């Protein structure tokens, strides 16, 4: 699940999957871009790909600043998780997760606005364990959990193979090595817990908010390489942060739904006391 999610994110960046304002009958000959002045070509691509993305506003969230005993125990568990991510755990059957290595993943999407077939090989993600804990607040009275994290830098490298067309208009294709650096990723949210059968605890709802401070990609071989590849890299670096910001609430909602399902599977038939004992058990 994680690999497919990351694949969708990276291929979405490669393909610039933004909503397109118009769809002419014939694709745009990308070779014509090479004959245009660079500024004109960049402006044309942006106008074609941007769409009505800036109209979406993501609400800000505030978080309490103080922590109690349970909060400190949660922080201790997160620090243990950090070590496991870096070193793995034979006892838990968990491999090293930072860096995370994925040999091969692929995705295929055939829709009106985007049609692509793509794959990633030797896919490596670094920096996942370098998270900063900005806020942790658990209330046993209100059964709420507020949290905030910052990822200073996450780097993604690998080899890609992509064949796509956006809105029957713009072909995006290529293969070769790539590197993506994402910085200052801030994630915050609030989980609301509840009791079922007056005993067992479960996650009733989860709201997430996130932002990306920096984005830079270097993707070789797009549109046949050379000047066209450089041109598309420039456009991607300009547009991807805009696309992420404009669709942050959509991404957050989809991610929150998946997290709730996973969390409730883990909680199973736990009581609140079981959960508190589990949290306290790793704090020493």
The CATH number that applies at residue 252 is: 3.15.10.30
Both tokens of 135, joined, read 């806020």
Percentage of the chain modeled with pLDDT above 90:
51
Position 138 scores a pLDDT of 94
| Maximum mean pLDDT: which of 38-52, 63-77, 109-123, 142-156 | 142-156
Say how many domains are in the chain: 1
Say whether pLDDT at 2 is over 50.
Answer: no
Residue 91 — pLDDT band, cuts 50, 70, 90?
Answer: confident
Say whether pLDDT at 65 is over 60.
Answer: no
Position 10 scores a pLDDT of 41
Place of tokens 């870096």: 86
- Range scoring the smallest mean pLDDT among 48-52, 203-207, 278-282: 48-52
Could you give the CA distance from residue 63 to residue 144 in angstroms, rounded to a whole number? 12
Say whether pLDDT at 220 is over 90.
Answer: yes
Give the residue with greater pLDDT, 167 vs 268.
268
Say whether pLDDT at 23 is over 50.
Answer: no
Q: How far is CA 208 from CA 59, 138, 145, 158, 252, in A?
A: 10, 16, 12, 29, 5
DSSP per position, 158-189: EEEEEEEEETTTEEEEEEEEEEEEEEEEEEEE
Could you give the CA distance from residue 1 to residue 258 in angstroms, rounded to a whole number? 10
Give the residue with greater pLDDT, 172 vs 67.
172
Under a CB-based contact definition with an 8 Å cutoff, are residues 237 and 215 in contact? yes
Say whether pLDDT at 25 is over 70.
Answer: no
**Domain range holding 255?**
2-281
Could you give the CA distance from residue 204 to residue 144 in angstroms, rounded to a whole number? 10
DSSP assignment letter at 112:
S
Say whether pLDDT at 131 is over 50.
Answer: yes
* pLDDT tens digits for range 8-18: 444 444 443 33
Percentage of the chain modeled with pLDDT above 70:
78
């Amino acid at each position: 699940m994680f690999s497919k999610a990351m694949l969708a994110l990276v291929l979405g960046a490669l393909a610039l999957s933004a909503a397109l304002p118009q769809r002419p009958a014939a694709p745009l000959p990308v070779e014509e871009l090479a004959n245009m002045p660079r500024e004109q070509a960049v402006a044309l691509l942006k106008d074609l790909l941007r769409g009505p993305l800036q109209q979406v506003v993501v609400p800000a969230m505030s978080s309490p600043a103080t922590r109690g005993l349970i909060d400190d125990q949660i922080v201790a568990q997160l620090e243990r998780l950090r070590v496991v991510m870096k070193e793995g755990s034979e006892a838990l059957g968990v491999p090293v997760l930072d860096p995370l290595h994925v040999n091969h993943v692929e995705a295929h999407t055939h829709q009106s606005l985007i049609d692509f077939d793509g794959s990633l090989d030797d896919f490596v993600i670094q920096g996942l364990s370098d998270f900063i804990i900005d806020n942790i607040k658990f209330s046993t009275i209100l059964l709420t959990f507020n949290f905030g994290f910052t990822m200073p830098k996450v780097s993604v490298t690998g080899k890609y193979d992509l064949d796509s067309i956006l809105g029957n208009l713009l072909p995006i294709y290529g293969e070769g090595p790539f590197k993506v650096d994402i910085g200052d990723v801030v994630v915050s949210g609030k989980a609301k817990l509840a009791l079922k059968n007056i005993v067992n605890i479960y996650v009733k709802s989860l709201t997430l908010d996130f932002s990306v401070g920096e984005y830079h990609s270097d993707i070789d071989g797009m549109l046949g390489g050379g000047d066209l590849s450089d041109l598309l890299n420039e456009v991607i670096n300009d547009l991807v942060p805009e696309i992420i910001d404009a669709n942050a609430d959509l991404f957050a909602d989809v991610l929150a739904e998946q997290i709730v399902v996973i969390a409730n599977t883990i909680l199973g038939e736990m009581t609140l006391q079981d959960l508190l004992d589990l949290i306290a058990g790793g704090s020493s």
